[in-house]
Amino acid sequence: MCGIVGLFLKDASLEPHLGAMLTEMLITMTDRGPDSAGIAIYSGAGEGRAKITVQSAHPGREFANLDADLKDAIGQPVLMLIKDTHAVLEVPLDQLEAARSALSHLRPTVKVMSAGESIEIFKEVGLPKDVAARFGLSKMHGTHGIGHTRMATESAVTTMGAHPFSTGSDQCLVHNGSLSNHNGVRRELKRLGMTFETENDTEVGAAFISHKIQSGDTLGHALEATLTDLDGFFTFVVGTKNGFGVVRDPIACKPAVMAETDQYVAFGSEYRALVNLPGIEGARVWEPEPATVYFWER
């Protein structure tokens, strides 16, 4: 199993409530995935700024003076916001790669969860309600976001094994299902220069899509390629700076329900996750077709 929720807002007046809406949806999906939970939230950054979300097993020690150390390394001011085991570091956009490189020297055991102009990723082991509370998810704002509750099948229950996975700037992927050819695809992607943090199948799916995009494909084409190159069961939801996409494998046994109103497009593994959204009674509710790519962008 596993639970997925996603929300893409069309109505800007809902943006302050994105975190609260997604948190409620995420907690509803607890019995599909009580092992760990995560969320990718797209909340933008200041003009010319970028964000790196990092995670540490020893945040007290490793986040201490991290902003000052990073500022010394890149010679530009750095803003740091610590949320439990994660910290969001805001740096100038043109210093993003320099900051990532400096981080790997300054705090080699700190993990980068995401980087980009809009994305922040928070994920941990534990019940979704506890994970949500640790990061204060319900207070977050943004334009769109994706959440995942994990029931592990393919790899260990660890923070890095939780979803979403991000392998490209402002990109993330969550997955319900299991891939059976991930070892072969991982070997091929490693040969092509992609790097991996885990032995997890979903990370391979994320890296596959990111590699396609890096090679010049559109997100739509990258998602279509998952249908031919990835073997196994999947409902994928992907996030980018401007929107989100959905694709299901041709067998489509992993559930998916979508709802659309003038205010939002919502995704849930089950209808239960959507029942408290505003105006759901009048929403167009449907199941995404198998082997069909859906995408919403602003």
Q: Would you please indicate which residues are annotated as catalytic (active-site) residues?
A: 2
Is residue 237 a contact partner of residue 269, using CB atoms and an 8 Å limit? Answer: no
Complex with another protein: residue 157 or 253, whichever CB lies closer = 253
Complex with another protein: residue 174 or 273, whichever CB lies closer = 273
What number of other Cβ atoms are within 10 A of residue 48's Cβ?
9
Q: CA separation (Å) from 151 to 156, 172, 199?
A: 10, 19, 16
Q: Which of 35, 36, 29, 21 lies closest to 3, judged by CA?
A: 29
Write a three-state SS string for 190-234: HHCCCCCCCCCHHHHHHHHHHHHHHCCCCHHHHHHHHHHHCCEEE
Write a three-state SS string for 224-245: HHHHHHCCEEEEEEEECCCEEE
Smallest gap, in angstroms, from Cβ of residue 150 to another protein?
19
Complex with another protein: residue 233 or 271, whichever CB lies closer = 271
Is residue 176 a contact partner of residue 3, using CB atoms and an 8 Å limit? Answer: yes
Smallest gap, in angstroms, from Cβ of residue 48 to another protein?
44
CA gap 107, 110 in Å, rounded: 6
Smallest gap, in angstroms, from Cβ of residue 277 to another protein?
12
Smallest gap, in angstroms, from Cβ of residue 117 to another protein?
36
Which pair of tokens denotes residue 4?
């997925």
Complex with another protein: residue 232 or 290, whichever CB lies closer = 290
Smallest gap, in angstroms, from Cβ of residue 1 to another protein?
11
Complex with another protein: residue 208 or 234, whichever CB lies closer = 234
Binding positions for another protein, rule: CB under 8 A: 251-253, 255, 257, 270-276, 285-287, 290
Q: CA separation (Å) from 7 to 15, 186, 198?
A: 10, 30, 27
